[in-house]
Chains A and B, each alone.
Chain A
Amino acid sequence: MAIRRAFSGRIVDRTAVVGARYMSSWWRSVQPAPKDPILGVTEAFLADPNPDKVNVGVGAYRDDNGKPVVLECVREAERRIAGNLNMEYLPMGGSVNMVEETLKLAYGENSELIKDKRIAAVQALSGTGACRLLADFQKRFCPESQIYIPVPTWSNHHNIWRDAQVPQKTYHYYHPESKGLDFAAMIDDIKNAPNGSFFLLHACAHNPTGVDPTEEQWREISHHIKAKGHFAFFDMAYQGFASGDPERDAKSIRIFLEDGHHIGIAQSYAKNMGLYGQRVGCLSVLCEDEKQAVAVKSQLQQLARPMYSNPPVHGALIVSTILGDPDLKKLWLKEVKVMADRIIGMRTALRGNLEKLGSPLSWQHVTNQIGMFCYSGMTPEQVDRLTNEFHIYMTRNGRISMAGVTTGNVEYLANAIHQVTKSA
């Protein structure tokens, strides 16, 4: 009693309400949660006053001045949208226009599958939301199944399937010695998984390693996944961003489609349209026929309804405005290529600088890897040194967001990396 009174800090007025002031918090045993490993990096960066600080943590694109970019096609789309349209609820499945255009990007502009209406698709809250919907759907309709997740992967993948209560396993992916793909082990894992397992595949620009299978390797992966009757789920967060060409970046998906898989795809416009905070994405599931697609879509909506009812309209309008206008779409494709090219250029520059410094290590992987991230191979201890001694911020798995590298900081970054790795 005395403890509770002290806790509430004042003497209880017995003539007033009973109960409330006596109680200590219902939440007193709630533990402080650990910081998100990725988003926590930017928080730390922002708090650092050092003028030389570099943020190569979170995967958000920066221009060569280190500034965030709003694409011109996006600005134009927003000008057209503002003042013209109302803000009514979208259907539960989101913007039909946006979804249609989005499917074309993934499945092909003239895809028979789209024409045959075999794809169940709903607008989702960017890539995260799309993965979560699929995970919840998997739990509900394939409750005995498990999800195989590559090692390593985007850390939030584990959270998503955990919260959906789907058991997770891992499959070999990254080969630390070669800083490339552990292909043989990956194939073994596919073969050894129980038939009908779900496999999470990064369609292109693997996060965090930047290591992608070759086309031939994708064909073999497809073959083995098919032999085991596994479900292939593609997380495509970087279409266009990897090579600069969206068609090329969708190659893995097209291979699987040709092979007859009934795949699922999570698509995001966060990076390739720079719409990060708008939370625009799409979840699609390829079905046997139109009837099944209708059924699956209706069930996906049943999962969306008690989560957020219907998805946000603004970002979807931007996407459909851009993709629905040939000129704006052309502009977008140009701007995506500029972003991809700048990153490729920074890879070359970083590797070049390290080699010029006479690093004893091989930095080939910096240019072999693709997409926004470079898996440097640095240890958590080396990363900590980078942060503490050089004010360089990145995730402790050694992942460098190349988007944060500029002509202005690449030498500083290379030198710092050299300093912490030269005696490795």
Chain B
Amino acid sequence: MRREFTSSSSPADRRLNALVRHLATASIESRTAVAFSPTSGFHGDSVFSHVVRAPEDPILGVTVAYNKDPSPVKLNLGVGAYRTEEGKPLVLNVVRKAEQMLLNDRSRVKEYLPIVGIADFNKLSAKLIFGADSPAIRENRVTTVQCLSGTGSLRVGAEFMARHYHQKTIYIPQPTWGNHPKIFTLAGLSVKTYRYYDPNTRGLNFQGLLEDLGSAPSGSIVLLHACAHNPTGVDPTLQQWEQIRQLMRSKTLLPFFDSAYQGFASGSLDQDAQSIRMFVADGGECFVAQSYAKNMGLYGERVGALSVVCKTAEVASRVESQLKLVIRPMFSNPPIHGASIVATILKDSNMFNEWTIELKAMADRIKSMRGQLFDALRTRGTPGDWSHIIKQIGMFTFTGLNSKQVEFMTREYHIYMTSDGRISMAGLSSKTVPHLADAIHAAVTHLGQNNS
């Protein structure tokens, strides 16, 4: 057992002596007394000595590996954080402006927010996703609580369902964001999958989706990516969404929307919210997790919102009170900074417009990268059909490359991406597209056509 005394041992010795003296006179029953010395009575084992090291998070681990690589041509296409043409992170001008406004307002304080967060932020977030004229909002049937970005909103919603909903199974698309199953499992739900991605077409397996949702037990929870599916970039068409909605309502399946890319997918906030609004318009209930990480570039500030659309205002009020019981023992109340920025922007029509313009610029740059990569592969005569690159939508492209090909690209070309073949288009620039195209070309020609 190590002695943790400081370098000058005499104060420690003095303390030790004092304690020994104290014990000699203390009223401790002799039969329970333990001879005190630093090396006895305490076996020195940590109660956590059996804990083994956890594997790296597959997504965040990519950036860790990238950072370690000294190569000057390395490319990080792992985590979905937007980069400019210069490969730099971007803080939106309108965000900087909002931050300055907050900073200059000396009357602002840092008090605890209410458990549910900033009231303005919640109302404005609901308006943003459901539409200002949404009947659900007008009828007060929506409760919205501020949470820690998309992750936090999903977790709080799932914990609520695990406590209050009669069905404890959630169906998630195959594939989905790697963190989804962990969130739901830890919240106390059991996780099943429904078919989603068709590797052959690199598009939607719509038949499979309908079959799997159709055979789910009545009342099951279904996770839906509102737009810009992560990791595939494959979204249902509006007609397909309508069919999904009808099926789900007929089977009383509960929709849980994950909206992490509103405005980022098509460039239009309203268009990217269509799927959700369709469901709300039919008068039914649903959960929505909103994130401002990407569309406002607020990643590390952890800004998001969970909305629950209920049948009546009275139910919404009760639901909100129970959501608070989930939040209080998790983090008590949400962080103030990022949500203040969002509220500042959303409530000012000029700033809101500025935001939509900057948002569209990000979305357009991504679309341009898609076009450039597609053209570059075509120019190189890379074998295979690469049209999915321009058909898929949002930040990610599911290239169809298999893990061996990915490994090859990392080793030989210093391209960092997740092993499922997902690349973040936001990490590309006109300058780096040729390098990526070379890497894909080499991987496909050396290791055969992708079969995944």
Contacts and interface: CB of A to CB of B under 8 A. Distances in A.
Contact of B332 (A88, A156, A313, A314): A156
Contact of B311 (A24, A33, A87, A299): A24
A309 B330 contact: no
Nearest to B284: A20
Contacts of A312: 148, 300-302, 335, 337-338
B302 A86 contact: no
A386 to B, nearest CB: 23
Contacts of B380: none
B103 A79 contact: yes
Interface string B44-85: 111111111110010010000000000000000001010000
A128 B332 contact: yes
B15 A227 contact: no
Contacts of B100: 82-83
A129 B331 contact: yes
Interface string A142-154: 1001000000000
Contacts of B54: 295, 298-299, 301-302
Given A258-B4, A278-B335, A18 B249 contact: yes
Given A19-B249, A89-B300, A306 B335 contact: no
Interface stretch (B266-274, B318-326, B395-403): B318-326
Contact of A296 (B12, B51, B251, B297): B51
Interface string A65-84: 00011100010001100110
Contacts of A298: 53-54
Given A30-B315, A89-B79, A279-B334, A83 B96 contact: yes
Contacts of A83: 96, 99-100
B155 A292 contact: no
Interface size class of B (residues with CB under 8 A): 35 or more
A278 B15 CA distance: 39
Interface stretch (A157-165, A326-334, A355-363): A157-165
B43 interface: yes
A90 interface: yes
Nearest to A78: B103
Interface residues of A, number: 103
Interface string B149-186: 10110010000000011100000000000010011011
A378 interface: no
A26 B285 contact: yes
Given A60-B112, A88-B89, A285-B48, A163 B330 contact: yes
Interface in A42-99: 43, 58, 60, 68-70, 74, 78-79, 82-83, 86-92
Contacts of B293: 89
Q: Which of A16, A226, A277 has the most CB of B within 10 A?
A: A277
B190 interface: no
Given A23-B252, A87-B300, A312-B301, A227 B42 contact: yes
A25 interface: yes
A260 B44 contact: yes
Scoring A17, A70, A191, A231 by chain B CB atoms within 10 A of each residue's CB, the highest score goes to: A17
B43 A229 contact: yes
A31 B390 CA distance: 49
Contact of B110 (A226, A278, A296): A278
A83 B102 CA distance: 12
A125 interface: yes
B310 interface: yes
Contacts of A17: 245-246, 249, 282
Contacts of B47: 142, 145, 196, 229, 231, 262
A308 B300 contact: no
B297 A87 contact: yes
A58 B112 contact: yes
Given A25-B315, A216-B22, A306 B151 contact: yes
A162 B111 contact: no
A26 B165 contact: yes
Interface in B99-124: 99-100, 103, 108-115
Contacts of A90: 300
A275 B335 CA distance: 10
A3 interface: no
Contacts of B79: 89
A69 B99 CA distance: 20
Contact of A191 (B32, B51, B111): B32
Residue from the set B53, B245, B318, B332 with the largest chain A CB neighbour count within 10 Å: B332
Nearest to B57: A305
A163 B34 contact: no
Contacts of A288: 44-46, 49
Nearest to B334: A279
A8 interface: yes
A87 B299 contact: yes
A223 B335 contact: no
Contacts of A286: 46
A39 interface: yes
Contacts of B103: 78-79, 82
Contacts of B300: 87-90, 310, 312-314
A381 interface: no
Contacts of B329: 128, 132, 156, 159-160, 162-163
Given A24-B311, A27-B285, A86-B89, A32 B249 contact: no
Contacts of B285: 23, 25-27
Contacts of B182: 305-306
Nearest to B280: A20
Contacts of A60: 111-112
Contacts of A69: 109
Given A16-B282, A223-B36, A292-B49, A36 B2 contact: no
A371 interface: no
Contacts of B250: 18-19
A337 to B, nearest CB: 20
**4 closest residue pairs by CB, A with B:** A20-B284, A313-B300, A277-B336, A25-B311
17 contacts: A7-B311, A18-B246, A18-B249, A20-B283, A27-B311, A30-B322, A32-B322, A58-B112, A70-B109, A78-B103, A128-B328, A128-B330, A156-B332, A191-B32, A292-B51, A305-B182, A306-B185
